[in-house]
Amino acid sequence: MAEKKDSLSFLMLILTVLIIIQSGVVALLVLEVFIPQRDRAAVTEEVFSFSGSAMRIDPGGDIWGFMADNGIQYLPLNLPPGVVLFSGQRVDVTAVMADLSIIRTSGIPIRIIRLTTPASDDFSLTDTRWILDSTVASDSFSSPHTGGRVTLILCQNGTFYGMGPANPYAGRYTSGGQAITFSWVEATTRSGSNELKDTEKQYISTLRDTRSFAIRDQSLLLMDENNRTLLTYREDGVFT
């Protein structure tokens, strides 16, 4: 008797499944009802890449966008203010779509995962973002606070700024030919552990000892009065 009931239940299940399959839309509704929201596979953000050019969206400010080679304009929402770009600069971007409900007339909003600006042949001492690679005391410099990205950007008006081992810093410099000197080098904030502060003091002191520079193989070398290399930077072309 139990076997007959089991057989009947199985047949009813088969008939129900067949009816649902034939119903098409009904099947979708049934699945929507019976699969709990918490058990549905989450839709992962789709990562995409494109090549294009940087473009200044705000002529009087520092809001940048990208024009892809296929003509689509994108607006990065997480571009750090320290990234140095120029109009027409080639970029390779890996990103995900941002909240598309945010209506932007200046482009499709995206969040950058990786931004690469291919190294150019005409980079110069000024208006280039330099990343510290090594110091006179260390062949490989790394700051635990900034992830090793101690930066230096020299502006054409004689000022410079960057991120030190612990804090942002700024100052003035003078240059002529291969000579260069740094003055009024100060950290703009006072945070970090004693170890980081000591590292930062040493870095700033080394900048003050600089008397000349050289650019070789896309690297900036700052040297003392005896032409001993004190600090070595590389041209920054990657933001992640």
| Bridge partner list, 238 | 116
**Neighbouring C-beta atoms of residue 168, cutoff 10 Å:** 14
CA dist 183 and 48 (Å) reads 45
Query: Nearest-CA neighbor of 105 among 73, 63, 79, 80?
Result: 73
Residue 92 — left, alpha, or beta (φ > 0 → left; ψ -120 to 50 → alpha)? beta
**Is pLDDT above 60 for 34?**
no
> Residue 95's pLDDT is what?
92
Average pLDDT on 170-193 reads: 85
What one-character-per-residue DSSP string does 128-153 give?
Answer: -EEEEEEETTBSS---TTTTT--EEE
Buried b / exposed e over 80-94, threshold 16 CB at 10 Å, is eeebebeeebebebe
pLDDT tens-digit profile of 102-116?
556 678 899 988 887
pLDDT classification of 30: cutoffs 50, 70, 90: very low
d(Cα 174, Cα 16) in Å, to the nearest integer? 84
| CA distance linking residue 126 with residue 123, whole number of Å | 8
Mean pLDDT of 193-217: 86
Yes or no: say if 160 and 171 are a contact pair by the CB < 8 Å rule: yes
For residue 183, the surrounding DSSP H or E stretch is: strand 179-187
What's the pLDDT tens digit per position in 42-72?
334 689 999 988 888 876 566 788 999 998 9
Residues in CB range of 47: below 8 A, 6 or more apart: 94, 95, 96, 113
pLDDT of residue 186: 82
Domains annotated on the chain, with CATH:
47-116 (2.40.50.500), 129-239 (2.40.128.270)
Average pLDDT of the chain is 74
What was the pLDDT predicted at 207? 93
Identify the residue with better confidence: 25 or 214.
214
Whole-model pTM: value is 0.51
